[in-house]
Amino acid sequence: MSEKKLEGRKNIIEVNNLKKHFKVGKGQILKAVDGVTFSIREGETLGLVGESGCGKSTTGRAMIRLYEATEGEVIFDGMNIQRLNRKELKNFTKQAQMIFQDPYASLNPRMTVGDIIGEGMDIHGLRKGKERMAKIYELLEIVGLNREHASRFPHEFSGGQRQRIGIARALSVEPKFIVCDEPISALDVSIQAQVVNLLEELQEEMGLTYLFIAHDLSMVKHISDRIAVMYLGAVMELTTSKVLYDEPLHPYTQALLSAIPIPDPEVERSRNRIILEGDVPSPINPPEGCKFQKRCKYVKDICREKAPELREVKPEHFVACHIVK
């Protein structure tokens, strides 16, 4: 597979200084997403990685208005999605869809697979009767199932097959943009590759744009054109997947990459691992200044005082760090 040409493509979705804070009682505020800015181009896959609790899923959900953002804006196709009226919102939900992590919890166990896939079309009044069924059959075949499956229920399917149903449901309204929230984390290794290959084929055929959220960096590297690394609600580094893995600049990205075991004994024996001390701090009352300061070995005074901005250090390579020149 050759690398996609991305220069000159227009942005399909832009996220500007997005914040999502949750009140957690006792006057405390959990800052799940705290000022995130990036954009995704048409036909691109942007990978969003980070450890649990870093705000990657919250970002994805806020981008399709499953959460109301606390601050900042999300611009989709020139429209601010926070300021849509009912009709515009309905149109937006048709264009932006989501594939969920847990293929067991995200399908209604009391609906047949056909109805699960057809529900979106019913809501948007896209197809009726025979035409609707024909589309359902077509979608089932596209995702590698067959038409007999339409009358069955979710419990009759394996995890990988359910994830295919979830993909067919997302595709039923012919969206432009899909948020894939850890779509393969719950699947076995041999099944993960099936689903990832399917997502890649669909993107090529239909020109889809993906936000691919995951914590498995090897898989993210494989599927993404560009990758944003998040830590404690902020983007630490953003660049093409090749550059991110070849020359990571942020100390957190470096540690994260070095922590991943590589399935090759010779490589493992000769590797020097950067082991981070301690845990990810709580996003409730996070530290002032740089979010990563408590685990960073290069920490300086300025890191404790001022949060670094995400700046372009090289073309297409953005880093939020005071140390990186």
Partner 1 sequence: MSRDENKLLIDVKDLRVSFDTYAGEVQAVRGVSFYVNKGEALAIVGESGCGKSVTAQSTMQLIPMPPGRIKEGSVMFNGKDLTKFTDKQMESVRGSEISMIFQDPMTSLNPTMKVGKQIMEGLIKHQKMSKQDAKQKAIEMLDVVGIPNPEKRVEQYPHEFSGGMRQRAMIAIALACNPKLLIADEPTTALDVTIQAQILDLMKDLQKDFDTAIILITHDLGVVADMAQRIVVMYAGVVIESGTLDEIFYDGQHPYTWGLLKSVPRLDTQGKQKLYPIEGTPPDLFSPPKGCPFAARCEYAMPICREEMPEKTHLSKDHFVKCWLQHEMAPDVENPIKKGRE
Binding footprint of partner 1, residue count (CB under 8 A)? 44
* Part of the chain binding partner 1 (CB under 8 A), chosen from 12-20, 31-39, 55-63, 266-274: 266-274
Q: Which of 7, 68, 148, 264 binds partner 1 (CB under 8 A)?
A: 264
Nearer to partner 1, 133 or 193 (CB): 193
Q: Which of 160, 175, 248, 286 binds partner 1 (CB under 8 A)?
A: 160
CA–CA separation, 268 vs 257, rounded Å?
13
Minimum distance of partner 1 from residue 85's CB (angstroms): 41
Minimum distance of partner 1 from residue 249's CB (angstroms): 17
CA–CA separation, 20 vs 100, rounded Å?
20
**Residue 82 interacts with partner 1 (CB under 8 A): yes or no:** no
**Residue 205 interacts with partner 1 (CB under 8 A): yes or no:** no
* Cβ–Cβ under 8 Å, residues 293 and 287: yes
Residues in the chain: 325
Cβ within 8 Å of residue 121, ≥6 positions away: 127, 132, 135, 172, 173
Minimum distance of partner 1 from residue 53's CB (angstroms): 9
Minimum distance of partner 1 from residue 260's CB (angstroms): 6
CA–CA separation, 97 vs 208, rounded Å?
11
CA–CA separation, 225 vs 6, rounded Å?
9
Using CB under 8 A as the criterion, what x/- string covers residues 241-260 for binding partner 1? -x--x---------xxxxxx
Q: How many CB atoms lie within 10 A of CB 101?
A: 19
**Residue 152 interacts with partner 1 (CB under 8 A): yes or no:** no
- From residue 132, give the alpha-carbon distance in Å to each of 10, 99, 121: 33, 21, 8
Instruction: Give the tokens for residue 19.
Output: 């914040």
Instruction: Give the tokens for residue 45.
Output: 């896959």
CA–CA separation, 39 vs 14, rounded Å?
4
**Residue 8 interacts with partner 1 (CB under 8 A): yes or no:** no
Q: Which of 16, 194, 240, 254 binds partner 1 (CB under 8 A)?
A: 194
Q: Which residues pair with 48 in a beta bridge?
A: 213, 228
**Residue 261 interacts with partner 1 (CB under 8 A): yes or no:** yes
Minimum distance of partner 1 from residue 73's CB (angstroms): 30
CA–CA separation, 228 vs 215, rounded Å?
12
Q: Which of 11, 39, 221, 307 binds partner 1 (CB under 8 A)?
A: 221
**Residue 268 interacts with partner 1 (CB under 8 A): yes or no:** yes
* Cβ–Cβ under 8 Å, residues 278 and 294: yes
CA–CA separation, 125 vs 147, rounded Å?
22
Minimum distance of partner 1 from residue 187's CB (angstroms): 9
Q: Which of 188, 204, 309, 316 binds partner 1 (CB under 8 A)?
A: 188
**Residue 276 interacts with partner 1 (CB under 8 A): yes or no:** yes
Note the residues at the interface with partner 1 (CB under 8 A). Answer: 1-3, 51-52, 158, 160-161, 188-194, 196-197, 215, 217-219, 221-222, 242, 245, 255-268, 273, 275-276, 279-280
